[in-house]
Amino acid sequence: MAGLGARLLAPFHGLIRLGFRPPRVKEKGSPADFGLAFDPVSIPTAGGKRLFGWFIPAPHGPAAAVALLHGWGGNAEMMLPLAPRLHRAGYAVLLFDARCHGRSDPDSFASLPRFAEDLEHALDWLAQQPAVDPTRLAALGHSVGAGAALLAASRSHRLAAVISVSAFSHPETMMRRFLASRRIPHYPLGRYILRHVEDTIGYRFDDIAPVHTIRQVQCPVLLVHGEEDETVPMEEAYAIRDAGKNVTLHLLPGSGHDPAGNIEEHGAVLTEFLDRAMQAERLVHPT
């Protein structure tokens, strides 16, 4: 009977996976559009897959480096507006597509833990580059990418700093909002969908929620959140801040969930935060 039930539910489970599949948007531009010299790169990740990316060397090396990770349905190009300021501040920059996004390899599904896994492999790649100081690595993520950066930082002390942009506090809360927007009632259908997603990705939402993973993050964290974010309410940024330690919250007036354009106006906040964190890391690991 169990086998029969699984077969009967298989089409419904397929619809769930289809409903949560991220749109794939491939890059049309490149760092050259911003006057930046770069190398296209292919980074190995889990399951024999490869990630597409751009590496922008620092003006002088070996330098501190920042890995930039987009959000759900995004790509490396969407993070490019942040690269010029980071480069001018002396940082090497790596922008890359998570699996199932942009020009990276497809996989059976995308998830916050897989975003984190891809980020961890990207950091491995960065640490091996002669132009990069492997003791001074930072991650900057947007939305799901922000949650992934916090998850990666909670599992390893290799990061000197994390910048989290527009992170949600808990994936279940975020997904409940999504289901409600599709008029799917939480009980019993929505609840079943959420439990099935947990089973599919192999993690309980509580274990990967930024409001929980932030407690294990040892490096300095800068939370950036738009005051007009209608996708993730500003209160969730406060919840993450209050749950962590060594966490700073910077609010962006007039910005929504994707503050790429407006965040450039606040770029000095990002680079000053990174400079402080990297200087502290240099004192721990003097060259």
Same structural domain, 190 and 48:
no
Query: What pLDDT is recorded for position 7?
Result: 59
Looking at residue 127, its amino acid is A
**pLDDT tens digits for 228-278?**
999 999 999 999 999 999 999 999 998 999 876 677 777 889 999 999 999
Q: Among residues 158, 184, 206, which one ends one of the domains?
A: 206
Q: What is the pLDDT of residue 186?
A: 84
| Model confidence pLDDT, tens digit, residues 163-203 | 999 999 999 999 999 999 989 888 889 999 999 999 999 99
- Cβ–Cβ under 8 Å, residues 99 and 105: yes
Q: How many domains does the chain have?
A: 2
Whether residue 145 sits in one domain with residue 52: yes
Q: Is 96 contained in some domain?
A: yes
9 found inside a domain: no
**In-domain check, residue 138:** yes
Q: Please indicate, yes or no, whether residues 145 and 234 belong to a single structural domain of this protein.
A: yes
Residue 8 confidence (pLDDT) above 60: no
Domain stop point among 186, 206, 226? 206
Q: What is the pLDDT of residues 86-117, one digit of tens each?
A: 999 999 999 999 999 999 999 999 999 999 99
pLDDT above 60 for 5:
no
Q: Same structural domain for residues 244 and 265? A: yes
In a domain, 181, yes or no: yes
pLDDT for res 20: 80
Range of the domain at 196: 171-206
Which pLDDT belongs to residue 281? 65
Asked if residue 108 belongs to a domain, the reply is: yes
- Average pLDDT of every residue of the chain: 92
- Residue/partner pairs of 152-158 with CB below 8 Å, 24 or more apart: 152/116, 152/119, 152/120, 152/123, 153/213, 153/216, 153/217, 153/218, 153/219, 153/221, 154/213, 154/214, 154/215, 154/216, 154/217, 155/116, 155/120, 155/216, 156/120, 157/218, 157/219, 158/123, 158/127
User: Residues 194, 59: one domain?
Assistant: no
Q: Which of 161, 188, 206 is the last residue of a domain?
A: 206
Beta partners for residue 132, in sequence order: 63
Which residues have CB under 8 Å from 96's CB, separation 6+?
Answer: 41, 43, 51, 52, 53, 54, 67, 68, 69, 76, 104, 118, 122
Is 11 within the bounds of a domain?
Answer: no
Which whole number is the average pLDDT over 8-36? 84
- Assess whether 154 and 202 both reside in one domain: no
Chain segment 44-85, per-residue pLDDT in tens: 999 999 999 999 999 887 999 999 999 999 999 999 999 999
| Cα pseudo-dihedral 224, 208, 17, 10, rounded to 10 | -170
Q: Which two tokens stand for residue 163?
A: 């910048």
- Token reading at 252: 């962006």
- Residue 12 is predicted with a pLDDT of 63
Residue 58 and residue 119 in one domain: yes
- The answer on pLDDT for 210 being more than 50 is yes
* Token pair 């397929």: residue: 14
Residues 110 and 159 reside in one and the same domain: yes
Residue 2 confidence (pLDDT) above 50: no
**Across 3-11, average pLDDT:** 57
pLDDT at residue number 4:
46
Same domain, 50 and 72: yes
115 and 254 assigned to the same domain: yes
CATH number at residue 51: 3.40.50.1820
Using CA atoms, how far apart are residues 198 and 153, in angstroms rounded to an integer? 21
Residue 152 within any structural domain of the chain: yes
Do 104 and 176 share a domain, yes or no? no
Residues 201 and 108 in one domain: no
Supply 122's token pair: 């990207």
Mean pLDDT score, 115-135: 97
pLDDT at 286: 60
User: Do the domain assignments include residue 33?
Assistant: no
